[in-house]
Structure 1
Amino acid sequence: MVRMIWGMGAVAVSLAFSVVNAISTSSTSIATETTTATATATATATTTATATSTSAAAAAAAAFIANDTSVKFALNIPNENSNNDLYFSISGPSSCSWIAVGMGSDKMKHSLMFMMYADSTGNNITLSPRIASDESEPSHAKDIVVERLAGTGISNDTFTWHGRCLNCTSWQGGSLGSTTNKKASFIWANGPPIALKSNSLHADIKRHSSYGVFTMDLSKAVGTAGVPAIPASNSEGASQVSEKVDNNFSSAAHAVLMVLVFVGLLPLGIVILRFLNSPRWHAVNQTLSLGIALIGVGLGAQLGTLYNRTKGFKSGHQIIGVMVVIAMISQWVLGFLHHRLYKQTSATTKFAPIHVWLGRVVIPAGIINGFIGFPLALNPKLDWALLVCTLLIIIIFTPLLFWGWKRRQAKEIEGNTGEAEGYHAEPWRAPQAQYDIGLNQMNMNMNMNMNMNTNIGGPPPYNAGGQQMPQQQQQWMPGQSSHSYPAQQGTQGCQILGLVRAICSGLSGMVNGIHIFGLLIQMDYEWAKEFRTHPLKLAKDWD
């Protein structure tokens, strides 16, 4: 029994040792496999990194850095290059709207340019290969294919592009040239600091803010194919030839001149004519406005040849601008003709309303065209400045124009307060001084009174139409007003009314006679003698 128990214990112990040994062996195997895998992975990664580093280090490159460090460029030309591929890297500050390097020439014309800018997300880069046909905005070259390679992106406010250009040692209109050229010409440029985010290879760009020319020794670029590193300094044989700052004066001058004309001078011309009532200075202002507008149009036409978006002369801003300027020329000619004829006839002409209405169209059309022009120039924020200027002019000039209008209305009302159609009050009804009267004035009053008695019916009313009134309507009595003349002449009521008025007029004449008689007492005998003949003549006229 004891032996049996001892045997079973020995078997159990042996089994336990076997299990422990198996577990230990398994753990060792797992650990060994893990260690082997880790070592293998580490070795592989190290080998890959080393290989990559070796490849990058081995990639020959010609390198250039602009003096202002706005552009860094490196180029690799594979020594076994049956496909005519090129490897290149470009770097520069992301504060620039775009950065570009061109090769094949020291001018824009026929250069192949690699232009990079932020994509629509602002986190990566769009690279557009472009070719310029002249000193103007380059156009996308559809036949040029560029591949994006690892390391491309925007980091630390810096654009970085690594890429390969397929079969691009030559292109339409140009080529890189011989790889033994120690003074190969390149150009570089960067855009102004504005926001440009686009995935399009045809994205509209603004004119460069700085640009230059540099040369490189292409023999330094020939070597093992690979992406060149961003350079820290110029390679041997690389140097900057020139650097220029572009002020873009034409664009600014075009905007300033046209805003000055349509927001400043033309509204001022209205104020000069309507408020100051000065046709001469109005003409000077209109001539000056037209001259400045023509200069602005010339600058605009020249600018239109520089950008892809305006080369075809199809934009609304350009079309409206030409129409407005043609209207301005027509308005000036009509105003000139109107002024010449007016000086001869002192009457308005058929040109006047056309001149006025052209002005009413030209000014708002020019201002609206300005709001269209700023977005076309990729300066949409300047629309707010134009709006402020326009509102300011409206606030200043509107009260002046309203004041001038009220003044003209008052003059028109004052001119219409007289009698109807050329009729003036009879001289004998004019106000006279009661006590202080000179000889000349007394003589005039006396003669008027004599004439009144000669034709007691009074002078016939002036008819502007040239037609004489019926005989019975011409029997005007002294003191009778043209406004109160009865409209139903010939009726019994009108006859009675005419008789009453005749009596009143007679009494008025008597009063005037007594007044004159009293004045004549103070005069000499000759004046009194002339007066004594008056009653006989008066009686004869009444007979």
Structure 2
Amino acid sequence: MEIQIAPIRDTNTTIAINLTPGTHDINFYVTSPDWYQYVAIGIGNAMEDALILVMGHTEPFFDPNVKVTVHYSAVTENLDIIVHGTCHSCHALAASHIEFNRSLPLIWAVGPSLSLESDDLDAPIRRHISYGKFTVDAETATGSPPKLSEFRSADGKNIGVLFQEDEAVIVDRRPRNGIVHGVLYAIAALALAPIDFLVAGLLAAGHASRARKRTCAWTHYATATVYTGFVFAALVPGMMISRDHIRTRKYTTPHQIIGLITVALMGSMFIWGLALLFLKRSATKRNQALFEVGSKLKLSASHRWVSRIVWLLLLINIGLGLKLAEHRPIFILGYVALAGGMVVVLVPIYFCVWWCARRRRKEETETESHELPVIYDNYHR
């Protein structure tokens, strides 16, 4: 019987291959539990540039040059997917360096335990949870196309297949990079940002001695540094996990675009804050006013408002990230409720701080407007 069969016991999956002589057709037979989102077979040692057939409850194909005929497909009473089909001219469409000899390399993969629920050719299938490689004897597998009954009679037997490694490599269902990325982002947006804004508001609103103001200022610089550090740290695992998925490799998703904008703005605001600190300390040492009152207020206000916009973008982007990762709607709604509740609680607090800071700036403006002529006269005596 001209069939090569690979039973992958760790996933209860069986893959059988037959090559029709005188053509470039490949006949295949696949059985797998229907709780997998998909089953995939590829020709080659790696996914890159490989011809891959993806089978779920339907058999979608992306390359218009590939024609697939499904002879039989069903879901059995045991909830197993069965697909028997022919990939026409797949032999010729395989990568040029692949030789159909006694050591034909094949790859396989099964998707996560989710229903695809779509016949769309652009359906966003998730990353496989298990994969592996095996080698078949293409010469022995060449013969007249077997009937479905012949495939079924050999189901579960290892016929002419050499596994290149353990039968199945189990992929972590929860990628660590994604978890680290999300946790760091959440800590930055839901904890560190509110604390930093509160400290900055108290610094602007307080009426205290110079020593106490200096302590409050250094506290703000410390919280801002930690806050910025967490955001930049979250960027690293985010970029790493982006390389694992086709949709995210070009950084065109809303989550990635907003994330890069947020990081750029945050870095700019951090440098802006350090520059304001340096200029203020330099002016204080010379016993001079830092800027004219209007310019000083514009620079400080710009720093505050851009920082608030960054925080808002962080909150929105976490939700977009949860959607991109295809988390359950209840989880996304839970985050929206948490973020919304936090904003409702913090807005009155920030309003009180803003009102106090506004009064203080008004008093300082009136004081500086009376003192400027005196400073000017003393400077030119």
TM-score normalised by the shorter chain: which range applies? 0.7 to 0.9
- For residue 356 of structure 1, the aligned residue among 298, 304, 310 is 304
For residues 195 and 267 of structure 1, what CA distance do their matches in structure 2 show? 40
User: Is the Cα–Cα contact under 8 Å of residues 209 and 245 in structure 1 kept in the other structure?
Assistant: yes
- For residue 185 of structure 1, the aligned residue among 95, 100, 105 is 105
Change in Cα spacing, 1:408 to 1:109, as seen in structure 2 (3 Å) is: closer
- Alignment of 1:207 with 2:149, yes or no, is no
Change in Cα spacing, 1:154 to 1:110, as seen in structure 2 (3 Å) is: farther
Query: Shift of residue 147 of structure 1?
Result: 0.7
- Alignment of 1:244 with 2:180, yes or no, is no
User: Is the Cα–Cα contact under 8 Å of residues 196 and 227 in structure 2 kept in the other structure?
Assistant: no
Residue matched to 1:273: 200
Task: Write out aligned runs for 1:266-415 (5 A).
Answer: 266-275=193-202, 278-345=216-283, 349=296, 350-379=298-327, 381=329, 382-394=331-343, 397-398=346-347, 400-401=349-350, 404=353
Task: State the SS of the aligned residue for 1:149.
Answer: strand
Task: Report the more deviating stretch, 152-161 or 354-363.
Answer: 152-161
- Alignment of 1:102 with 2:42, yes or no, is yes
Which one-letter code corresponds to 1:359 in the other structure?
S
Change in Cα spacing, 1:280 to 1:88, as seen in structure 2 (3 Å) is: same
For residues 296 and 213 of structure 1, what CA distance do their matches in structure 2 show? 34
Query: Shift of residue 378 of structure 1?
Result: 2.7
Task: State the SS of the aligned residue for 1:113.
Answer: strand
Residue matched to 2:59: 127
Task: Report the more deviating stretch, 225-234 or 260-269.
Answer: 225-234
For residues 466 and 279 of structure 1, what CA distance do their matches in structure 2 show? 29
Change in Cα spacing, 1:410 to 1:235, as seen in structure 2 (3 Å) is: same
Query: Shift of residue 331 of structure 1?
Result: 0.9
Query: Shift of residue 403 of structure 1?
Result: 5.9
Residue matched to 1:76: 18
Unaligned runs of 5+ in 2: 207-215, 285-289, 375-381
Residue matched to 2:50: 111
Query: Shift of residue 155 of structure 1?
Result: 5.0
Question: RMSD of the alignment, in Å?
Answer: 3.1
Residue matched to 2:212: none
Query: Shift of residue 380 of structure 1?
Result: 5.5
TM-score, L = length of structure 2: 0.78
Query: Shift of residue 222 of structure 1?
Result: 2.7
Which one-letter code corresponds to 1:212 in the other structure?
G
Which one-letter code corresponds to 2:144 in the other structure?
T
For residues 164 and 465 of structure 1, what CA distance do their matches in structure 2 show? 88
Unaligned runs of 5+ in 1: 1-58, 118-124, 130-139, 423-462, 468-543
Residue matched to 1:150: 72
Residue matched to 1:165: 87
Change in Cα spacing, 1:366 to 1:466, as seen in structure 2 (3 Å) is: closer
Query: Shift of residue 220 of structure 1?
Result: 4.2
- Alignment of 1:93 with 2:15, yes or no, is no
Task: State the SS of the aligned residue for 1:366.
Answer: helix
User: Is the Cα–Cα contact under 8 Å of residues 134 and 161 in structure 2 kept in the other structure?
Assistant: no
Which one-letter code corresponds to 1:126 in the other structure?
T
- For residue 196 of structure 1, the aligned residue among 96, 105, 116 is 116
Which one-letter code corresponds to 1:375 in the other structure?
K
Change in Cα spacing, 1:166 to 1:466, as seen in structure 2 (3 Å) is: closer
Residue matched to 1:225: 145
User: Is the Cα–Cα contact under 8 Å of residues 102 and 187 in structure 1 kept in the other structure?
Assistant: yes
1:280-329 deviation line (CA, Å, top 9, x unaligned):
22212222222222232333334334333233433222222222211111
Residue matched to 1:493: none
Whichever of the two has the greater Rg, that structure is 1
- Alignment of 1:65 with 2:7, yes or no, is yes
Structure with higher RCO (Cα < 8 A, 6+ apart): 2
Query: Shift of residue 405 of structure 1?
Result: 5.3
TM-score, L = length of structure 1: 0.56
Task: State the SS of the aligned residue for 2:15.
Answer: strand
Query: Shift of residue 165 of structure 1?
Result: 0.6
Query: Shift of residue 96 of structure 1?
Result: 1.6
Q: Aligned residue pairs: how many?
A: 342
For residues 281 and 93 of structure 1, what CA distance do their matches in structure 2 show? 57
